[in-house]
């Protein structure tokens, strides 16, 4: 009996909206205040540059996706491009997959945890049930992902379009109230301090990787992926700037500080109180937009995490059971169940959220680093492969992507590094045991 394969059902529109919905999550609803506290009005420049830097990183991965349109993305690219040594290729594949998996997987429960707060702002009677709401959101996203990628894509498209409409409503209502004096001086905290805000802003751009991880489910991936990824990062950047322009134009940047918790933790709502006092529909629109943004992020990151596990199972680095495809809906059911169960455990323990944030930032950067090195390997070691999409400049563009990644990590703390090293160590122990056991892909390569 032929083994079931993933269904190719995502077109350009589906892939584009899955990427946009994944990127627009809780970041823009909270982190706009934190970036303003660091950089003043020039924080808006930090968000624009974060989008540009992420675009550079995305392009080197998109080239590899058109060469090797396989589930999981980075682990598949590394296995194909890291030279002749199987030990080197398999370790690079594992560490790249482990980094992107942990870095993005933890975003699933993290995003779901914040839905409850916004639901309670609309229905105060639900106060105290935030954790229950978190688990319901995770279950909804799991069942949606389990249904089939086509239904997932269509449902996400509807939610994302509604989200965009609500974000535009905030812009059109808030823009006329902008006081340009709030933008002066533009570099209020110093000429280059906006660079320190870039890593925080970049947290709002990472989920485009979900489309590359689902490449086996994309129609004509060589054509679809470059269009969907490039356009989604561009549109997301523009939407962020449309939100931030009235935010920073109606609230003085000095008000964004922990001593003013309303402004610091709910900056859009705080801004709306200023430019639309008494207009309850604006506050409702913000809460609904936040709920939609968080849910679409959960959906996209669940796609990403499950496809990375599936892809590593297909390679043989993870047990082959991880690559099981449910014939009924042609989705990676075992991988989805793993993602769901772990996310439910984390989501049921809100006190773990700080550790989730700390580990995620550096781990996804490790995944991107392996992806950039894979691009160099593609150009040097796989001259037999001619990707339909090629970035200009070859390896020079990889260097640009590496610099972009370094800028995104300029503010990483020692605590983040130590937590991430612990996560890496856990992964390395697994890899050594798996390698020594001579099972999976390692059984085929005894040396």
pLDDT averaged over 10-residue windows placed end to end, the chain, 447 residues: 80 93 87 92 96 94 96 96 93 95 85 87 89 95 93 91 94 96 93 86 89 94 95 96 97 92 88 90 92 93 95 94 94 96 90 70 89 96 93 92 87 81 93 88 69
Q: Is 258 helix (H, G, I), strand (E, B) or coil?
A: coil
CATH number for the segment(s) 12-439: 1.20.1740.10
Phi and psi dihedrals of 10, rounded to 5? -95, 120
Question: What is the structure's pLDDT at 89?
Answer: 95
Global pTM value? 0.93
Residue 440 has a pLDDT of 79
Predicted local confidence at residue 1, as pLDDT = 44
Q: Mind giving me the DSSP string for 379-421?
A: HHH-TT---SS--TTTHHHHHHHHHHHHHHTTT--HHHHHHHH
Taking CA atoms, 328 is separated from 141, 146, 367, in Å, by 18, 10, 32
Rounded Cα–Cα distance for residues 104 and 98 (Å) = 10
Which residue, 54, 37, 34, 36, is CA-closest to 45? 36
């Amino acid at each position: 009996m032929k083994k079931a394969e993933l269904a190719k059902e995502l077109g350009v529109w589906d892939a584009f909206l899955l990427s946009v919905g994944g990127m627009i999550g809780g970041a823009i609803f909270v982190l706009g205040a934190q970036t303003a506290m660091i950089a003043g009005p020039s924080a808006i420049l930090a968000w624009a540059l974060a989008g540009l830097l992420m675009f550079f990183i995305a392009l080197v991965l998109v080239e590899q996706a058109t060469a090797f349109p396989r589930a999981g993305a980075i682990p598949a690219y590394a296995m194909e491009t890291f030279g002749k040594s199987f030990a080197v290729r398999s370790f690079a594949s594992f560490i790249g997959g482990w980094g992107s998996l942990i870095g993005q997987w933890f975003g699933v429960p993290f995003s779901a945890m914040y839905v409850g707060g916004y639901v309670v702002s609309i229905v105060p009677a639900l106060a105290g049930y935030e954790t229950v709401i978190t688990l319901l959101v995770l279950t909804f996203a799991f069942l949606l992902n389990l249904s089939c990628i086509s239904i997932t894509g269509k449902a996400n498209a509807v939610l994302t379009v509604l989200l965009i409409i609500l974000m535009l409503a905030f812009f059109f209502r808030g823009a006329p109230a902008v006081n340009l004096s709030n933008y002066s001086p533009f570099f209020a905290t110093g000429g280059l301090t906006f660079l320190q805000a870039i890593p925080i802003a970049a947290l709002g751009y990472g989920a485009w990787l979900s489309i590359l991880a689902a490449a086996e489910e994309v129609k004509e991936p060589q054509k679809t992926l470059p269009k969907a990824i490039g356009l989604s990062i561009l549109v997301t950047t523009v939407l962020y700037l449309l939100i931030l322009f009235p935010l920073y134009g109606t609230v003085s940047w000095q008000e964004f500080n922990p001593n003013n918790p309303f402004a610091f933790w709910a900056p859009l709502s705080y801004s709306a109180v200023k430019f639309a006092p008494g207009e309850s529909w604006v506050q409702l629109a913000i809460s609904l937009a936040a709920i939609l943004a968080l849910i679409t992020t959960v959906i996209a990151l669940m796609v990403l995490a499950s496809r990375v596990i599936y892809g590593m199972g297909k390679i043989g680095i993870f047990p082959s059971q991880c690559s099981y495809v449910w014939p009924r809906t042609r989705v990676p059911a075992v991988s989805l169940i793993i993602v769901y169960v772990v996310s439910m455990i984390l989501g049921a323990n809100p006190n773990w959220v700080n550790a989730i944030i700390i580990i995620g930032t550096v781990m996804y950067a490790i995944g991107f680093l392996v992806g950039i090195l894979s691009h160099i390997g593609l150009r040097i070691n796989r001259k037999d492969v001619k990707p339909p999409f090629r970035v200009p400049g070859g390896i020079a563009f990889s260097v640009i992507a590496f610099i972009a990644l370094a800028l995104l990590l300029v503010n990483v703390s020692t605590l983040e590094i130590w937590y991430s090293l612990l996560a890496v160590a856990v992964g390395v122990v697994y890899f050594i045991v798996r390698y020594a056991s001579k099972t999976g892909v390692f059984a085929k390569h005894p040396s």
